[in-house]
Amino acid sequence: MPFIDKILVSRSLSIVGMEKNTGKTECLNYVIYRLKEKEKIIGLTSIGIDGESVDQVTETPKPEIEIYPGTIFITSEKHYKQKQLTAEILDITQKSTALGRLITARAKDFGKVICSGPSQTVWLKEIIDKTRDMGVDLFLVDGALSRKSSASPSITESMILTTGAAVAPGIDDIVKKTAFLVKLINIESFDTEHHEILMGKEKGLYIITKDNELIDTCIESGLFADKISPEFINKASAIFLSGILTDRFIELIRVQNTKKKIVILVKDFTKIFISKEKYYGFLRSGGEIRVLLKPNLIAICINPLSPFGYKLDSNLLADKLHDEIKLPIYDIKKI
């Protein structure tokens, strides 16, 4: 696959599925296999849980993560005990996830693992940086688009998106939904000296003034955006939302904004849960949406097989996606 060469110039890569059953684990296993051919030492973890043999939502069989000797993997205590290989423990974290502390280990042979990694973006970055001292050439993150996780795949240098028949029943709808997500992924980053401070915020609403002052509104989340005074909004060059961006929040800001241009700032595209109509309506009103982290999307992989049993035309889906998105499109099963 040509994008393997693009992967190799990065130090980290996330693979993110638009929905469950879009072939994310198949894509991850393919990348791992190709990196083994290149004799690369890889690190591996997941945002959320991945590697189960049966999908916990649809109860359909799913591929497990297969790794090779020398791979460094990070997973919770619970899932470390379920590994199907021999490994050497390198590190155990002091803080815990809901599934226990995180264990960093080196695989001693071939086998399968379930990955359940860090729950916060800053923690994920620390883990990626730490494994470089362990000799890791490339770190792989099994990503997630979830309101439940504050960890972000955008922390990696490159990203692959998976899509397919699980997203929508028809090819045209898949293309429309995927193209809109790609639009969000490619939202421009916002340059601010407050970048590191804002990345560390797990909750709250903040304003960056025209004089570049950072002000805490003392509002805990976007759910209470109606409590922001118009005076606050009008003095802002940007409004930073630490949590998720919704249609309701965008509409509240649009209605209260009495000036032409205002920026809503979020950490990255995974925090954006808005409709296409609200997105373009906000842009037309003079607003902008910007991110602190913009990933480098290098390719899209497709799974034409639906978890409900039907299969779409893989070539037609790939061609239509490429015409719309202008990125390399691959069906892993056809390579």
* Helix/strand number for the chain, H first, E second: 10, 20
Average pLDDT over residues 229-240: 82
pLDDT digits (tens, 9 = 90+) for 85-114: 999 999 999 988 889 999 999 999 999 999
Q: Are 245 and 272 in contact (CB under 8 A)?
A: yes
Q: Which residues contact 6 (CB under 8 A, 6 or more apart)?
A: 158, 298, 299
Q: Is residue 268's pLDDT more than 60?
A: yes
Q: Is residue 150's pLDDT more than 80?
A: no
How would residue 328 be classed by pLDDT, with cut points 50, 70 and 90? very high
How would residue 257 be classed by pLDDT, with cut points 50, 70 and 90? low
Give the per-residue pLDDT at 1. Answer: 56
Average pLDDT over residues 204-223: 88
Q: Is residue 285's pLDDT more than 80?
A: yes
| pTM for this entry | 0.89
Give the per-residue pLDDT at 302. Answer: 96
Gyration radius of the chain over CA positions: 21
Pairwise CA distance, residues 268 & 85, whole Å:
35
Which range among 1-5, 36-40, 283-287, 314-318 shows the weakest confidence by mean pLDDT? Answer: 1-5
Of 142, 157, 182, which is closest to residue 52 (Cα–Cα)?
A: 142
pLDDT digits (tens, 9 = 90+) for 117-145: 988 888 999 999 999 999 999 999 998 88
Residue position matching structure tokens 């799974």: 303
How would residue 309 be classed by pLDDT, with cut points 50, 70 and 90? confident
Of 149, 128, 163, which is closest to residue 202 (Cα–Cα)?
A: 149
Average pLDDT over residues 197-213: 91
Domains of the chain: 3-185+295-334 (3.40.50), 195-291 (3.40.140)
List beta partners, residue 273: 246
Sign of the Cα torsion 103, 66, 28, 273 reads: negative
User: In whole numbers, what is the pLDDT of the chain averaged over residues?
Assistant: 89
Give the per-residue pLDDT at 61. Answer: 53
Cβ neighbourhood burial of 69 (10 Å; 0-12, 13-18, 19+): middle
